[in-house]
Amino acid sequence: MTLRPSPAAAGLALAALIAATTPSPAATASTQATVWSTVAASSSIEFIGTLAGGDFTGRFQRFVAGIAFDPADLAGSRFRVEIDTGSASTADADRDVALAGNDFFAASRWPRATYDASQFAATGPGQYQARGTLTIRGIARDVPVTFAFNPAADGRSAILSGRASVRRLDFGIGQGEWQDTKWLGDEVRIRFELALRK
Amino acid sequence: MQLRNTTYNYGALAKFLHWAIVILIIAQYVIIEAAEDLPDGIEKLSQISLHKSVGMLVLILAIARVGWKLADRGKPVPVTMPGWQKKAAAASHGLLYLLILLQPLSGWAMSSSANYPVTLFGWFQFPALVAPDHDLHEGLEELHEALFAVLVIVALIHAAAAVYHHFWMKDDTLRRMLPFGRKPDA
């Protein structure tokens, strides 16, 4: 299956998630926040790594973002993002092949990285923090994501943009000599912007 | 030793910049040739990073060299030679200044076009000169190698001329630029 951020796939992913995690049907009816579909063409998930002390930016070309979010119903909000680990693109073919390879994402063995969040807190006007679990190469770690939610005036669309920071070695990204952090930094920043539509 | 150029000698700063750039450019060739024989990995990455940092150092020194040349206008008195040789010397000097600026600039743009960062030994990062573009990267790689070939040819002519002046003409052309060579200023 090719992962492309499509409204149908996002809806399915989220429906499956809600079905799997909702404790009882009664709870579903009262606590499910607005389910958004993601407009792929105007959405991005980028990562910023450091090589020899300098930053470079890449992006994941294929992902599915299942977003149920309502500022008035944080308890009923959910994120389920699936990223195709073989789709990391950095404008350099050699580096892209290396990233998908066994020393980094090992995309043939672990084709998906996922982020699941169901705990949300407001940190300021329009600002939130999600506490969720990021799973890469089968390794799950708690990773907070800070984001801004900007709904359009008519409430039919919204921009969800935010950032997170991870340590690549926590997930085994960089095996063997690539565990060296002098030339390839441990910290990788993640930056995303999702164009949401009802 | 005088910082500025004197009647018969180049000043300490001009000499320092001249020879530092010569040594660093020779080192650059050695570094990148060694890197090209390595398999993809940390060692190759570190070697290429070193090449890029040293290249940026060459660019800074080349800018300083040209800047100092403009600031310190007094040149040692010219050695007597035919007009065509003076013109050839001026042309090759101009070309060398241009090449020591263009060589690191093309390398910097080459890294930017492949979305690789350029730093000065990791202390700080230079901004990207151009946006990532595969075809542009291929073109810049060829340009970077072609400029180096031209640089080697012009530098060899330049060095041959200095040696010719020293051993055949027995004048001070070479001695006045040597690190510790100097003739008493009258």
Distance, CA of A37 to chain centre: 14
pLDDT of residue A49: 97
Q: What is the C-alpha to C-alpha distance for residues A97 and B19, in angstroms, rounded to an integer?
A: 41
Instruction: Provide ipTM, 2 decimals.
Output: 0.84
Query: Which residues in chain B are contacts of A180 at CB distance < 8 A?
Result: 42
- C-alpha torsion A19→A25→A26→A27, nearest 10: -20
Check whether A2 has a pLDDT greater than 50. Answer: no
pLDDT of residue B5: 82
Residue B116 has its nearest CB partner, among A56, A182, A183, at: A56
Query: Which residues in chain A are contacts of B132 at CB distance < 8 A?
Result: 91-92
> How confident is the model over B132-150, as a mean pLDDT?
97
Distance from CA of A173 to the nearest CA of B (A): 14
Which has more confidence, A80 or A2? Answer: A80
> How confident is the model over B70-91, as a mean pLDDT?
82
For helices B134-164 and B83-113, give the axis angle rounded to 10 degrees: 150
Distance from CA of B8 to the nearest CA of A (A): 45
Distance from CA of A182 to the nearest CA of B (A): 9
User: How many CA within 13 A on the CB side of residue A115?
Assistant: 23
Strand ranges for B23-178 from DSSP E = 118-119, 125-126
pLDDT class for B151, splitting at 50, 70, 90? very high
pLDDT class for B82, splitting at 50, 70, 90? confident
Query: Which residues in chain B are contacts of A92 at CB distance < 8 A?
Result: 114-116, 132
Which has more confidence, A34 or A139? Answer: A139
Judge: B40–A90 Cβ closer than 8 Å, yes or no: no
Distance from CA of B57 to the nearest CA of A (A): 16
pLDDT of residue A30: 44
Q: What is the C-alpha to C-alpha distance for residues A63 and A43, in angstroms, rounded to an integer?
A: 10
Q: What is the C-alpha to C-alpha distance for residues B10 and B75, in angstroms, rounded to an integer?
A: 7
pTM of the complete model: 0.85
Judge: A56–B49 Cβ closer than 8 Å, yes or no: no
> How confident is the model over A41-64, as a mean pLDDT?
96
> Which residue from A minimizes the CA distance to B49?
A52
> How confident is the model over A19-40, as a mean pLDDT?
62
pLDDT class for A22, splitting at 50, 70, 90? very low
B111-123 confidence digits (pLDDT tens): 999 999 999 999 9
pLDDT of residue A75: 94
Q: Does B135 touch chain A (CB under 8 A)?
A: no
A98-121 confidence digits (pLDDT tens): 999 999 999 999 999 999 999 999
pLDDT class for A96, splitting at 50, 70, 90? very high
Q: Does B39 touch chain A (CB under 8 A)?
A: no
Q: Does B19 touch chain A (CB under 8 A)?
A: no
Q: Does A56 touch chain B (CB under 8 A)?
A: yes
Going from the C-alpha of A115 to that of each of A12, A64, A66, B64, the distances in angstroms are: 16, 11, 10, 51
Mean pLDDT lowest for which of B2-6, B66-70, B128-132? B2-6
> Which residue from A minimizes the CA distance to B52?
A52
Residue B125 has its nearest CB partner, among A54, A98, A177, at: A54
Judge: A56–B115 Cβ closer than 8 Å, yes or no: yes
B21-46 confidence digits (pLDDT tens): 999 999 999 999 999 999 989 999 99
pLDDT of residue A176: 94
- C-alpha torsion B45→B49→B51→B52, nearest 10: 140
Task: Please state, rounded to an integer, the average pLDDT across all residues of chain B.
Answer: 91
Strands A157-167 and A78-84: unpaired
Check whether A25 has a pLDDT greater than 70. Answer: no
Check whether B107 has a pLDDT greater than 80. Answer: yes
> How confident is the model over A161-190, as a mean pLDDT?
96
Judge: A51–B134 Cβ closer than 8 Å, yes or no: no
> Which residue from B minimizes the CA distance to A180?
B42
Q: What is the C-alpha to C-alpha distance for residues B33 and B15, in angstroms, rounded to an integer?
A: 28
Check whether A89 has a pLDDT greater than 60. Answer: yes
Query: Which residues in chain A are contacts of B115 at CB distance < 8 A?
Result: 56-58, 90-92
pLDDT of residue B76: 75
Q: Does A91 touch chain B (CB under 8 A)?
A: yes
pLDDT of residue B12: 87
User: How many CA within 13 A on the CB side of residue B10?
Assistant: 21
pLDDT class for A31, splitting at 50, 70, 90? low
